[in-house]
Amino acid sequence: MTLTRFLIEQQRLNGTIPAQLRLLIEIVARTCKAISHSVNKGALGGVLGNHGTDNVQGEAQMKLDVLANEMVLDANEWGGHLAAMASEEMETIHLIPNRYPKGEYLLLFDPIDGSSNVDVDLSVGTIFSVLTAPDDASGRTVVESDFLQSGRRQVAAGYAIYGPQTLLVLTVGSGVYEFALDRELGSWVLITERLRIPSGKREFAINMSNQRHWSPAVRRYIDECLAGADGPREANFNMRWTGSMVADIHRILKRGGVFLYPWDGRDPKKPGKLRLMYEANPMGFLIEQAGGRATNGVTPILDVAPDALHQRIGVVMGDPAEVDRVAAYHDGDV
């Protein structure tokens, strides 16, 4: 089954995908195909290396960060399904030009996630989140505060991962669906329906180099994983860290485990590295839809009321038993 047929049948069966949302998802999926093509060309396409500019995050932008950002903007401006867009790579929101009709949806995206991996040929991805513009926005110009909605209000979320395969993982609130790109036909083909996170996998993902900066609760949790079968967990744990949230979360959705990019004390002004609106919220929606848990270490990420477009947040997500254990250690009640 192709993505188009899946979306039409979901609308017929559940009524969860109105025509404008179906158009939005199809356009984003088509853009991810084009981004995958650029990623795969790499040096041969002249897309590697730094762009020579910094983004609002204070990060040096890669050429692909900027190229993919432009590709998403260009592909979504004219369709009449969007009120505005926001991205990791843009300081403020991008309005739909007056020459085009406007729609009810807000698209937030991380055009290339894991971009530090682009030049070393490791998997990277594109993350997207869809909100609905406030009712009163239809008669006025959309403003940044219209985007500041909690993750519970997402109507769709997903990512593409550009790895050995190119995959699209999507939810519209009725489960998680995985599609593989058939390059010969150019279509997204459904390969997994209602994906569920396997439980009990003894595997954690964290950047250990930050260990000295973690909270006592996170240090305790990781120390116990490292203590293995002789320690309080009475089990040996494995560790994986790819530097691309998309790759780590995809692995957890497929084989279980837990992902942590927790608050750390390196910069007390920053509650974490990952961004709430276009990394933690869409991934949190997918993880919850697959039967997992997603918190900031203590409370559900999707319940966090945003106060800034690019705000950061600590992230612990994956196997509910592991995520709940981290929260219990923060509460100090075990």
Provide the minimum distance between the beta carbon of 102 and ligand AHG in the complex, in angstroms, as a whole number: 28
Neighbours of 6 (CB within 10 A): 20
Within 13 A of 72's CA, how many CA atoms are on the CB side? 32
52 alpha carbon, distance to own chain's centre = 25
Any contact of residue 114 with ligand AHG (CB under 6 A)? yes
Q: Give the sign of the dihedral formed by CA 284, CA 114, CA 38, CA 82.
A: positive
Q: Under the criterion CB under 6 A, does residue 110 sit at the interface with ligand AHG?
A: yes
Q: DSSP code of 300?
A: B
Nearest to 24 by CA among 92, 93, 109, 135: 109
Q: Which does 243 bind (CB under 5 to 8 A by kind): ligand AHG, Mn ion, none?
A: ligand AHG
| Among the residue ranges 139-147, 181-189, 213-221, 274-282, the one whose residues contact Mn ion (CB under 5 A) | 274-282
Q: Does 88 bind ligand AHG (CB under 6 A)?
A: yes
Q: Identify which range of 75-83, 113-121, 303-311, 324-332 contacts ligand AHG by CB under 6 A.
A: 113-121
Q: How many residues bind Mn ion (CB under 5 A)?
A: 6
Nearer to Mn ion, 128 or 221 (CB): 128
Q: Interface with ligand AHG includes 322 (CB under 6 A)?
A: no
Round to whole Å and give the CA distance between 112 and 64: 7
Q: According to CB under 6 A, which residues from 40 to 79 bind ligand AHG?
A: 59
Q: What is the largest CA-CA distance in the chain?
A: 66
Nearest-angstrom CA–CA distance, 154 and 21: 12
Taking CB under 6 A as the criterion, the residue among 199, 207, 236, 299 binding ligand AHG is: 207
Asked if residue 248 binds Mn ion (CB under 5 A), the reply is no
Binding site for Mn ion (CB under 5 A): 59, 88, 110, 112-113, 279
